[in-house]
Amino acid sequence: MISSPRGWYDAGDYNKYIVNSGITVATLLSLYEDFPEYVRTLDVGIPESGDAVPDLVHEALWNLRWMLTMQDPSDGGVYHKLTEPRFEGFVSPAEARSPRYVVQKSTAAALDFAAVMAQGARVLRPFEHALPGLADSALTAAVHAWSWARHHPDVFYDQERLNQQFEPHIETGTYGDADVRDEFIWAATELGVTTRQDSFFTAVAIFPDSEAPLPSWRQVRTLAYYTLARFRAELPRAVAHERVGLERTLIRAADQLVARAIRTAYGTVMGGAAADFVWGSNSVAANQGIALVAAYRLTADRSYLRHALGNLDYLLGRNATGYSFVTGFGGRSPLHPHHRPSAADGIDAPVPGLLVGGPNPGRQDGCAYPVTAPDKAYVDDVCAYASNEVAINWNAPLVYLSAALEALQSEAGFSPAPR
């Protein structure tokens, strides 16, 4: 038995997953690293507000401290998830009484953990007085997890196989990933940048090709490239010669997104390809916006920001459904998200400020959808977990995108209108 408090509920359920926590915490920490002055002034009214540590960092710490409890101190391996055997009913958190289990160490979990802890160590270092020793603990944990992953490079989470061997059967989200080459790239990069040790960069092929895939929980390689771009003026020797190629790769990826906007009915980058409309399509829109912000930071070309703002507009109602996909915002926003706390709190309106998944023609929930066209396959129904659930990895890029645009408007006088 272990103690594993704190942490965010992953989605509309009451479980916690290391793999999905990885990209989520990293997105928030990246917002701080990219816009530290803005973030230091951001007061969001959480219990920790008002002390020496920015609210955004405190919020990320709530989950980062939980992640630390998921590492086995004896060998550095990291448990894949903390979960009930099967999803609770639509009850309040206090009524969720099922036993919880930490389930299987996995290579993906160890590498995501290593990357986040290495980045966290950088972010936490300036707050040593308020958080004594935490940066050191995070970096030590990162190195320990990296070592475990190097010795166990192909331990993939396989829930079906586990259920053939063990009781109780686990039926909750798998976050399974049998290709961890991108996780190795991300973890090596974060550790290399934080420690300034070339050995991390030479351990893997950081640039296997010239692509920068849009980040998702399953594909995290470009998170490494964002970090390298952020520190491009002071890159360690092992990757310093890649700076020009890195910048070209990120700019080309943004240009490919921008080129699609002319083909969409609403003039947004989002929706420029049918593949945009997947489970969690709104996170695609938000992460596209982050890619465009990254290109602006490399080029100072404001057209990237105008398209990033267009994707924020998409999330807030400039789309084929007419919905603002953020609860409580806009004239037409979701009232019945697949979110247990909102459904069980006895209040008609849902918890405000949550981004739902968005149009998903896959409709894996089996609910009734009035329209099935890819850009309209959305229904505001609590049963519709394939399009109307909330999740941490969808909300974090919304936080980044909206905060980055606000910060740039303040710092650089950004205007969405051409000049």
In the set 84, 365, 375, 389, the catalytic residue is 389
Inter-CA distances, 32 with 53, 55, 136, 323, 342, Å: 11, 10, 19, 30, 29
With CA atoms as reference, report the closest residue to 189 among 179, 203, 178.
203
Task: Determine whether 10 is an active site residue.
Answer: no
In the set 112, 338, 339, 381, the catalytic residue is 338
Counting DSSP H helices and E strands in the chain, the numbers are 15, 3
End-to-end CA distance of the chain: 62
Backbone angles phi, psi at 105, to 5 degrees: -75, 145
In the set 59, 190, 380, 381, the catalytic residue is 380
Task: Determine whether 13 is an active site residue.
Answer: yes
Rounding to the nearest 10 degrees, give the CA dihedral for residues 92, 96, 101, 107.
Answer: -10
Which residues contact residue 19 at a Cβ distance below 8 angstroms, ignoring those fewer than 6 apart? 80, 81, 106, 108, 109, 112, 175, 177, 217
Task: Determine whether 411 is an active site residue.
Answer: no
In the set 10, 13, 34, 276, the catalytic residue is 13
State the Cα–Cα distance between residues 390 and 135, nearest whole angstrom: 30
Task: Determine whether 375 is an active site residue.
Answer: no
State the Cα–Cα distance between residues 329 and 184, nearest whole angstrom: 39
Which residues contact residue 180 at a Cβ distance below 8 angstroms, ignoring those fewer than 6 apart? 107, 108, 111, 149, 153, 154, 156
With CA atoms as reference, report the closest residue to 319 among 278, 350, 277.
277
Q: Which residues are catalytic?
A: 13, 338, 380, 389
